[in-house]
Structure 1
Amino acid sequence: MVCAGALLISGVLITALWKTFEKAGEPGWAAIVPIYNTLTLLRIVDKPWWWLLLMLIPYVNIVMLVWVANLLAKRFGKTEGFTVGLLFLPFIFYPQLAWGKATFQRPAQPAV
Structure 2
Amino acid sequence: MLTSLPLDGLISTQTTAFSPVPSIIGGLIGYILLVLALWPVFRKAGKPGWGALIPIYNAYLLVKIAGYHGALVILYFIPIVNIVVAIIVAFGVGRAFGKGGAFSFFLLWLLAIIGYFIIGYGSSQYVGPGGRREGIAGAPAVA
TM class by shorter chain equals 0.7 to 0.9
Q: Deviation per CA, 1:71-107, whole angstroms, max 9, x where unpaired?
A: 1011111111111222222232211000101000011
Counterpart-to-counterpart distance in 2, 1:91 and 1:58: 21
The aligned amino acid for 2:75 is L
1:104 aligned residue: 126
> Which is richer in helix?
1
What is the distance in 2 between the residues matched to 1:44 and 1:18? 13
How far residue 108 of structure 1 moved from its aligned partner, in angstroms, is 3.2
> Do the aligned partners of residues 104 and 111 (structure 1) sit closer, same or farther apart at CA in structure 2, a change above 3 Å counting?
closer
CA separation of 1:25/1:64 partners in 2, compared to 1, >3 Å: closer, same or farther? same
1:29 equivalent in structure 2? 50
> Cα RMSD over matched residues?
2.2
C-alpha deviation, 1:17, in angstroms: 0.2
> Paired residue for 2:89?
68
Name the larger-Rg structure.
Answer: 2
Unaligned runs of 5+ in 2: 1-21, 135-139
Residue type at the aligned position of 1:108: R
Distance in 2 between residues matched to 1:92 and 1:58, nearest whole Å: 24
Distance 1:86 1:50 in 2: 21
Unaligned runs of 5+ in 1: none
Contact 2:66 2:91 in 1 (8 A): no
Structure number with the bigger relative contact order (C-alpha 8 A, sep ≥ 6) is 1
Structure 2-normalised TM-score? 0.68
Q: Deviations over 1:21-49 (max 9, x none)?
A: 00000000001112111111112122112
Matches within 5 A, 1:14-25: 14-25=35-46
Task: For residue 8 of structure 1, report the CA deviation from its aligned partner.
Answer: 4.3
Contact in 1 for aligned 2:65/2:92 (Cα 8 Å) = no
State the alpha-carbon separation in 2 of the partners of residues 111 and 17 from structure 1.
27
- Residue 76 of structure 2 aligns with an amino acid whose one-letter code is M
Identity of aligned residues (%): 37
